[in-house]
Amino acid sequence: MAKITASVYTSHIPAVGVAWDLKKTAEDYWKPVFAGYEYSKQWQKENKPDVIILVYNDHTNNFGFDLIPTFALGMNEEFIPCDEGWGPRPIPNVPGDQAFASHLAHSVIEQGFDLTLCYELGVDHGLTVPLSLMFGDVDPWPVKVIPLHVNVVQYPVPSGQRCYDLGRAIRNAVAAYDEDINVHIWGTGGMSHQLQGPRAGLINKEWDNQFLDDLIADPKTLAKKPHVEYVREAGSEGIELVMWLIARAAMCEEGQQPVVKHRFYHVPASNTAVGHLILEAPSSE
């Protein structure tokens, strides 16, 4: 039986990918950002899953405002990094898992979530920056990845509750898979940031840290937080954080407390606050 043993949460800031690719990680500005992922790279080496369900949002690099699915699953055996305007990142293509993705699609759709299924899917910084932060420079990527895109760029976007419920459905789907595989689920995006308009540059450390506390301790209540609070308190792009609820809801039984292996928060990086958590499933499972 497949099992989710851990979840990872991280910002997916494009400038972090550029700093990594241009080998600027030791510069004064970037050093504290990358220092927050030193433990994570070691942990990831020691806790390598067979497959990662990677929840992220496309930023109109693969999809566009003309066509943007609310929830879309990557079904292919390979996903190609997008050219986001400064050339594709110099990283390997991302290997998929067609058999597992097909199972997830069947099970999650049967449970009432009508996913869009993508065979051709370019992946942008939302997915590739977290991979670099957790695995470093590797070729090929050492695990299979199933991309799960969530629309958080064009309203109406799914509610925190809907994201949480999708996470529960994913948990059921994983548990119903016959293969004996180790699965991690990642939630990416956030934390507080606003990229445009009069409030551009908004950061809210207090709100972000409360979000991290609540995500760990009481995600069910956190799921009830309305969109308008994310946008008001964490900026227009702070809404990316609803994606973290998918991963958190999937990783253990409701009411069970995960083991906090790592927590990191840093301001600033590009226009945002960096947030990062590693949670392991309780050992009683």
Interface residues with ligand DHB (CB under 6 A) are 12-15, 59, 189, 193, 195, 237, 240, 270-272
Give the three-state DSSP class for 69: coil
Residue nearest to ligand DHB (CB): 270
- Compute the 3-state secondary structure of the chain and give helix, strand, coil in percent, each to the nearest 5: 35, 25, 40
By C-beta, is 96 or 189 nearer to Fe ion? Answer: 189
Q: How far is the CB of 49 from ligand DHB (least distance, A)?
A: 24
Please choose which of Fe ion, ligand DHB, none residue 193 contacts, taking the beta carbon within 5 to 8 angstroms, the exact cut-off set by kind.
Answer: ligand DHB
Q: Is residue 273 within 8 Å of residue 209, measured between CB atoms?
A: no
Spatial distance between the Cα atoms of 95 and 54, rounded to a whole number of angstroms:
12
Q: How far is the CB of 113 from ligand DHB (least distance, A)?
A: 24
Phi-psi region of 148 (alpha: psi -120 to 50; beta: other; left: phi over 0): beta
Please choose which of ligand DHB, Fe ion, none residue 270 contacts, taking the beta carbon within 5 to 8 angstroms, the exact cut-off set by kind.
Answer: ligand DHB
By C-beta, is 107 or 151 nearer to Fe ion? Answer: 151
By C-beta, is 40 or 107 nearer to ligand DHB? Answer: 40
* 274 membership: H or E segment, kind and range: strand 272-280
Adjacency order of strands within the sheet including 122-123: 94-95, 78-81, 122-123
Q: How many residues bind Fe ion (CB under 5 A)?
A: 1
Nearest Cα residue to 18 out of 35, 33, 8: 33
Q: How far is the CB of 148 from ligand DHB (least distance, A)?
A: 16
Helix 205-217 to helix 242-251 angle (10° resolution) is: 20
Nearest Cα residue to 117 out of 132, 135, 103: 103
Please choose which of Fe ion, ligand DHB, none residue 272 contacts, taking the beta carbon within 5 to 8 angstroms, the exact cut-off set by kind.
Answer: ligand DHB
Stretch 181-210 residues interacting with Fe ion (CB under 5 A) = 189
| Residue of 12, 103, 184, 193 marked catalytic | 193
Q: How far is the CB of 89 from Fe ion (least distance, A)?
A: 15
List the structure tokens of 161.
């509750």
Give the three-state DSSP class for 182: strand
Is 149 marked active-site?
Answer: no
Q: How far is the CB of 12 from Fe ion (least distance, A)?
A: 5
Question: For the chain, how long is the longest CA-to-CA vector?
Answer: 52
| Residue of 12, 59, 103, 125 marked catalytic | 125
By C-beta, is 167 or 189 nearer to Fe ion? Answer: 189
Is 125 marked active-site?
Answer: yes
Please identify every residue annotated as catalytic. Answer: 125, 193
What is the contact surface with Fe ion in residues (CB under 5 A)? 189
